[in-house]
Every structure is written in structure tokens, then in C-alpha cells.
């Protein structure tokens, strides 16, 4: 497929975080871009402000005529789209080139030096740090990311044609479409069991992805059952964070590499999981040849990713953090980070489970991880692409949480609960539309400061 012959790109599911990065890329290189999504969000509003035509009804009459020529139009579809989607079936039955997001990323990046960052947790932050390091170091790079990087207010960094950074998504085995030169794997925990069936199938797919590069070009977190360069915030790895301390809200640490020690690196994201993410990005950048000083400067200036331990309010008497965590391992990481920063403060967390299948598959892990907060509030499950499952709901999860201070509330009730709470640290957690509440919660809590 020759992208030079494509004049128009139409996205089904344009509001998805990965899809929107592709949409921004195609608009930047001069293509006409439009699309459909089922939900209007802050992200779709931003794309519309950037000049993209977006509608929110599955209706072929709303598609502009310029996108109805199969000779010069590419259609990009999210794996989550239902099989009976009217627009999708229109394009399929009329001879259009219809590709999944990962297939298109594979085409774009095939002729570049491609960094691919995979893992059930940590890939968004790691790929964002890596993209930031390379861009700030003058590398001719484009980074396609699964989150909005605060430094750029975008999920697309740069416009380079030589090097690409890609967040390699394991959902639907999408990352197997990529052609990486350097890869890393942050984690291989069970997830997406509705797609894979069991943890063994997930591990096998990650192994297949890992084998796309030689072991010398693969970077992995210490402890994963893979052969490659290892990183760890402990001992016994190829890249190790040492002498870790906190100064003025920043981690400051040294990194021991296979050949040297880099001293006094500053990094502002809390939590040991984020130190690991930074180590992976550092190791990959060094392998590519980026100088130590440039890596250190970029790590110190990295501001984080929207909805990844994102401080909304950071005052002495009140703190509000928002996080995208939607798996028990991620919630444990959020808790570790917030407890490390605020060991003596009362912490209340509001969690919106994401997907009925994920809630069912990891119900005990969710209960354990959520029980650690001083108070926990649940919202109902955000279904995303799924239909309800009998007996799978937030009340079931609430019953398993071992914490006397727990409640199941509506969104309106949550606002009142936060308003009247005497907690000093508030955390909202989840990958669903709880993210759309952040602005209003921030306004509410600011009135208490």
C-alpha cells in the first residue's frame, strides 16, 4: 500500500487515544482527515478544533463526499468497533482499503528506525519518556503515543521521517504488525483475557513480539521470562537505579549501565514503577547513541502523561491526583506512589472499573488493591465495547473489598462525597469516563483549598 496515493483518511473510532495520534499525523502530512466516534470527549473536541470533521452517529449520510472515493481514501478502524457497524460495512462492501490502526502504524514505520514499547502496564509512560528524550536530543523522530504528553499537550511528538517511537499494543495482538529495530517490554501480566483466553496465550504472544528483534536489541524489566537487556530498581540487572533519594519533589538517582555510572539524574514522576519506565527509556536512548547529558536533561524536564498520576491540585492541605489505572497491578503502583509521597495523610480513592470481563477476571486482585486506601468509593462499571454480564457489577466488587470505609455511589453522589470529605488526598482511578469528571472535581476541590 502506497500512502503517497492516499489523499483522504477516514477513522472509525477517531476519539481513541491511539487512533487520534494517527489522525494528527495524517493531518500534519497534508491529508484530509475525518471520522466517527460514538462519544464526544475532550479529545474529539481538540481534534475538531484542529480542523477535523467528526460526527457521533453511525450514519453514512454524515460522511463527506470526498471520503467516498475508494481510489484515494484510506479507512482506519479500531478493533473495538462492532461487526454490525453501518459505516464500517459500507466501506467494506464498496471496495475501500480498510486497515486496523496497528496495520497502518506498521506501514508508516516500516521504512524508519522503529522503537517499539510493549507491556500490559507502563508502555504509555515509557514510550512518552523515550519520545521526549529523542525529540529533545535533536533526533529526527515521530512518536505515536497512547496518552497526552503534558510537555506537548499531544499524543504525537515530532514530525521526523527517520526514527519512530510506537506504543506497541497487545490488544488483539496488534503489535505483531510492527517492524521494530529496538524493542522493550515493561510487563507481561494477564489482561485482555476476553481476547487471549488465558495468561499462557498472552505470554506466548509477547514472546512472539520479543523475537522480532535480536536479544541484544530487546530491553526488559528484570524478572520477565525473556532474554534481553534487563533494567531494575534493585540489583542484578544490566541497568540499575542506585542511590535513590527524593529532593524537592523529584527523584534523584544514579544509573549503573553495563559500561559506566551516570550520576544525579532528576526525574519528577512519583513511584518506583515510573523509575523503571524512565530506566527503560534511558537504556533504549543510550543504545541508539544519545549522549548522557541530553538524556539527563530530558528526564528532568519530562512533565508526565495526562491521566498517569496526574496532579490536578498539589497544595499543602489538599492534593488531587487522577490516574488511568484499570488493572490491579496498576492500582497497586498508584497506591505505592501516593503512600510514599503522603504517608501521614488520609487518602480517599474513587475507582470506576473498566469492562465487565476485566472486572470478572481480576475481581480478587481489584479488591485487594483497592482495600489499601483509607477510604474507597466505587462507580458502576464502564462497559466500553462490552455488553453486561449477569452478576458482574460494582456491588459484587464492593462486597469483596476488605475496608469498612467503602461505598458504591453515582457520579453525582461522588461529587457530594468529595465535597464533604475530610480527606487530604483525593485520587480518581479508571480508564472509563471518570476522566471526563476530572475538570469538575478539580473545580469542586479547589473551592476547599
Count how many residues are written for the chain: 449
C-alpha cell, 56: 457521533
Q: Is 252 in a helix, a strand, or coil? A: strand
Q: Confirm whether residue 121 is marked as ligand binding.
A: yes
Could you tell me what percentage of the chain is helix, strand and coil, using 3-state DSSP and rounding each to the nearest 5? 40, 25, 35
- What is the pairing mode between strands 239-247 and 229-232? parallel
Contact 166, 327 (CB under 8 A): no
Q: How many CA atoms lie within 13 A of 32 on its CB side?
A: 15
Whole-angstrom Cα Rg for the chain:
22
Enumerate residues 6+ apart whose C-beta is below 8 A from 215: 227, 228
- Main-chain dihedrals φ then ψ at residue 98, nearest 5 degrees: -115, 120
C-alpha cell, 72: 484515494
Q: Is 223 left (phi over 0), alpha (psi -120 to 50) or beta?
A: left
Q: Confirm whether residue 228 is marked as ligand binding.
A: no
C-alpha cell, 353: 472499573
C-alpha cell, 207: 514472546
**CB count, 10 Å around CB of 344?**
6
Q: Confirm whether residue 122 is marked as ligand binding.
A: yes
Q: Confirm whether residue 119 is marked as ligand binding.
A: yes
Contact 167, 117 (CB under 8 A): yes
C-alpha cell, 60: 453514512
Q: Confirm whether residue 124 is marked as ligand binding.
A: yes
Residues at the annotated binding site? 119-125
Binding residues for ATP: 119-125
Amino acid at each position: 500500500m502506497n500512502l503517497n496515493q492516499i489523499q483522504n483518511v477516514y477513522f472509525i473510532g477517531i476519539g481513541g487515544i491511539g487512533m487520534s495520534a494517527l489522525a494528527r499525523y495524517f493531518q500534519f502530512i497534508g491529508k484530509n482527515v475525518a471520522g466517527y466516534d460514538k462519544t464526544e470527549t475532550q479529545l474529539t473536541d481538540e481534534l475538531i478544533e484542529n480542523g477535523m470533521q467528526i460526527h457521533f452517529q453511525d450514519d453514512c449520510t454524515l460522511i463527506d463526499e470526498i471520503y467516498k472515493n475508494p481510489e484515494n481514501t484510506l479507512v482506519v478502524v479500531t478493533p473495538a468497533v462492532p461487526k454490525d457497524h453501518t459505516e464500517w460495512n459500507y466501506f467494506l462492501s464498496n471496495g475501500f482499503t480498510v486497515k486496523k490502526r496497528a496495520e497502518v502504524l506498521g506501514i508508516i514505520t516500516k521504512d524508519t528506525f522503529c522503537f517499539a514499547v510493549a507491556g500490559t502496564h507502563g508502555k504509555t509512560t515509557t514510550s512518552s519518556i523515550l519520545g521526549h528524550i529523542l525529540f529533545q536530543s535533536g533526533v529526527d523522530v515521530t512518536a505515536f503515543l497512547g496518552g497526552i504528553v503534558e510537555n506537548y499537550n499531544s499524543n504525537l511528538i515530532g514530525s521526523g521521517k527517520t526514527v519512530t517511537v510506537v506504543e506497541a499494543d497487545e490488544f488483539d495482538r496488534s503489535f505483531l504488525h510492527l517492524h521494530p529495530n529496538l524493542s522493550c517490554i515493561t510487563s507481561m501480566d494477564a489482561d485482555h483475557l476476553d481476547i487471549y483466553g488465558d495468561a499462557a496465550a498472552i505470554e506466548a504472544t509477547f514472546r512472539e513480539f520479543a523475537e522480532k528483534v535480536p536479544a541484544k536489541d530487546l530491553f526488559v524489566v528484570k524478572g520477565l521470562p525473556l532474554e534481553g537487556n534487563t533494567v531494575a530498581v534493585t540489583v542484578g540487572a544490566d541497568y540499575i537505579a542506585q542511590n535513590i533519594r527524593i529532593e524537592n519533589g523529584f527523584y534523584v538517582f544514579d544509573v549503573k549501565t553495563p559500561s559506566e555510572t551516570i550520576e544525579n539524574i532528576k526525574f519528577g514522576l512519583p513511584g518506583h514503577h515510573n523509575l523503571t519506565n524512565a530506566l527503560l527509556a534511558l537504556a533504549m536512548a543510550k543504545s541508539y547513541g544519545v549522549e548522557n547529558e541530553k538524556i539527563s536533561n530530558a528526564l528532568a524536564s519530562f512533565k508526565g502523561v495526562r491521566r498517569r498520576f496526574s496532579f490536578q491540585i498539589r497544595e499543602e492541605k489538599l492534593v488531587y491526583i487522577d490516574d488511568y489505572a484499570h488493572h490491579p497491578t496498576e492500582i497497586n503502583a498508584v497506591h505505592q506512589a501516593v503512600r510514599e509521597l503522603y504517608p501521614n495523610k488520609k487518602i480517599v480513592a474513587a475507582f470506576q472499573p473498566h469492562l465487565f470481563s476485566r472486572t470478572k477476571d481480576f475481581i480478587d486482585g481489584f479488591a485487594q488493591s483497592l482495600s489499601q486506601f483509607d477510604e474507597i468509593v466505587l462507580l458502576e462499571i464502564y462497559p466500553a465495547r462490552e455488553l453486561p454480564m449477569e452478576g458482574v457489577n460494582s456491588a459484587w466488587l464492593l462486597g469483596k473489598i476488605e475496608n469498612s470505609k467503602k461505598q458504591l455511589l453515582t457520579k453525582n453522589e461522588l461529587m457530594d462525597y468529595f465535597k464533604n470529605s475530610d480527606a487530604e488526598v483525593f485520587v480518581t482511578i479508571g480508564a472509563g469516563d471518570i476522566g471526563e469528571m476530572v475538570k469538575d472535581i478539580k473545580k469542586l476541590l479547589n473551592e476547599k483549598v
